[in-house]
Amino acid sequence: MSVNRDDVAEQEYLPSIADLLADTSRPTFSFEFFPPADQAGSDVLAQTILDLDATGPDWLSVTYGASGATRDRTIRATRFIKKRTEAQTMGHLTCAGQSRDELLATLARYAEADVRHVLAIRGDMPGGPTVPWQQHPDGLANATELVSLIADNFSFGIGVAAFPDPHPQHRDPELDARLLLEKQQAGASFAITQLFFDAGAYARLVERVRAIGCTLPIVAGIQPVTNIAQVERFAALSGAALPQRVVRRLHAVADDPAQVRRVGVEIATELSAEVLRAGAPGLQFFTLNRSRATSAILANLRRLGLDRRSPAVASDG
């Protein structure tokens, strides 16, 4: 990745993501990227990272492909973030299609790159989340085992996934809640939701997990809508329900890409505001390696004064 900018000096200390989420005075704002496939994509990602770093994010994260397919590109992207920004850095890790030794080798590479947080995810089979899960013969069975592997061998801060809408493979919200508690017991210190479009689904998730003793702070994952077909595909793959009110608003402007972007920013701003007012400790934006929509949503929230948390809800999350 090549962008003309002086390297950011190494920080002697950055608060952990768990520490940031424990600060009840304000919500966290973070951004997720995916590893690019070619040099053109790398250049776009580099500029997007630097553009969004200017907004002062709390952390930046990079996804990890099924079966470790993007391992090297993910590591390169996290190295770039560590070198060129002042934010905490988190690398994702999935156990799909990989042995324990391969997983430990990737974790060692994260440690060598001074990446101090890992998002531990079971991951989907290459065909997507509805394809039946198959454990690698020398691998792990689920995300809880991955959390334990990380906690037993490294000192990373560990994040995990949470599901406002039921996981599409088993569609059992109570099971999702129990699994989140098991991940906490295995060593996770925070969770980030999959994308969702109904603030009520987030609130019900928090209620379910708190009722069984899970205390993990749960960051709300927000997907800016800039392309109708794309977001409908993501929603179908993740099991996220697209409310009819959202569908109607988007399809009313479907013939005008600029209006789709405008309405998409409005929808994401409204959703973000609702979950923050309900006590969400932070938002993570799934940027798709673009900065404009995410920057616009964040600016809207700051104009609304939602970069500070209400004392009435500060402890919820």
Please tell me the pTM assigned to this model.
0.90
- Angle at alpha carbon of residue 10, lines to 5 and 15, rounded to 5°: 120
What's the pLDDT at 129? Answer: 67
What residues contact residue 61 under an 8 Å CB cut-off, 6+ apart? 30, 31, 32, 33, 89, 90, 91, 92, 117, 119, 284
2 belongs to a structural domain: no
What's the pLDDT at 228? Answer: 82
Report the distance separating Cα 148 and Cα 224, nearest Å.
33
Residue 17 has pLDDT above 80, yes or no: yes
315 belongs to a structural domain: no
Domain count, the chain: 1
314 belongs to a structural domain: no
Report the distance separating Cα 264 and Cα 80, nearest Å.
29
Q: Of 12, 32, 182, 274, which is the active-site residue?
A: 32
Report the distance separating Cα 169 and Cα 186, nearest Å.
22
Nearest CA among 20, 29, 22 for reference residue 268: 29
146 belongs to a structural domain: yes
* 55-79 tens-digit pLDDT: 999 999 999 976 666 788 999 999 9
Average pLDDT estimate for 99-115: 95
Average pLDDT estimate for 166-189: 92
Query: Where residue 281 sits, what CATH number does that domain have?
Result: 3.20.20.220
139 belongs to a structural domain: yes
Nearest CA among 13, 184, 2 for reference residue 114: 13
DSSP 64-118: --GGGTTHHHHHHHHHHHHHH-SSEEEEEEE-TT--HHHHHHHHHHHHHTT--EE
215 belongs to a structural domain: yes
Q: How many CB atoms lie within 10 A of CB 19?
A: 12
At residue 241 the predicted structure's pLDDT band, cuts being 50, 70 and 90, is confident
32 is catalytic: yes
* 290-306 tens-digit pLDDT: 999 999 999 999 999 99
What's the pLDDT at 231? Answer: 78
12 belongs to a structural domain: no
Range of the domain at 198: 17-303
What's the pLDDT at 7? Answer: 38
What residues contact residue 11 under an 8 Å CB cut-off, 6+ apart? 86
Tracing tokens 């929509």 back to the chain, one arrives at: 293
What's the pLDDT at 243? Answer: 82
At residue 317 the predicted structure's pLDDT band, cuts being 50, 70 and 90, is very low
Report the distance separating Cα 133 and Cα 135, nearest Å.
7
At residue 14 the predicted structure's pLDDT band, cuts being 50, 70 and 90, is confident
Average pLDDT estimate for 153-165: 96
